[in-house]
Amino acid sequence: MLNDAGRMVEKWYFELENKFPDILCDGYVIMPNHFHAIIINAVGADLRVCPNDLRVCPDQMGGPDQMGEHNKTGEHTGSPLHRVVQWFKTMATNEYIRGVKQNGWQPFPGKLWQRNYWERIIRDENELNRIREYIINNPLNWHDDEHYVWIPYL
């Protein structure tokens, strides 16, 4: 069950789809001290980062992207993940600070979010389903987490 702060994080997660039209929010879980989420980029990556398998990337021969342009830089063609995460963390942090000041939320020492984030490119449906299952089961394994701390106000 989410408290007000957890519901706030959930709100900003789904707001990503409004801020970044090429982003889709998939499975997620909000834990007392961390957050897991699957962010899908509807535009995708430059075809040169695709496996050398025409069944996976049938257009990897260098055709135009969805905008009709050729991306020759080898870079991602949609919203950069670091910008998406930066915006999410900024919005959630600012609202959390307001919650502390105006609603008596538990203050946090130092920074609300860690400096960086973990990312993983999901390459197929099986991997996507395994990660979704991990996210769904994360709360069941919370007591075994090395960072587990009982926080009675959550």
May I ask the CATH architecture of the domain 4-43+78-144? 2-Layer Sandwich (3.30)
pTM for the whole thing? 0.73
What is the C-alpha separation between 96 and 152, in angstroms, rounded? 18
pLDDT mean over 99-109? 92
In the structure, what pLDDT confidence band is assigned to residue 154 with cuts at 50, 70 and 90? Answer: very low
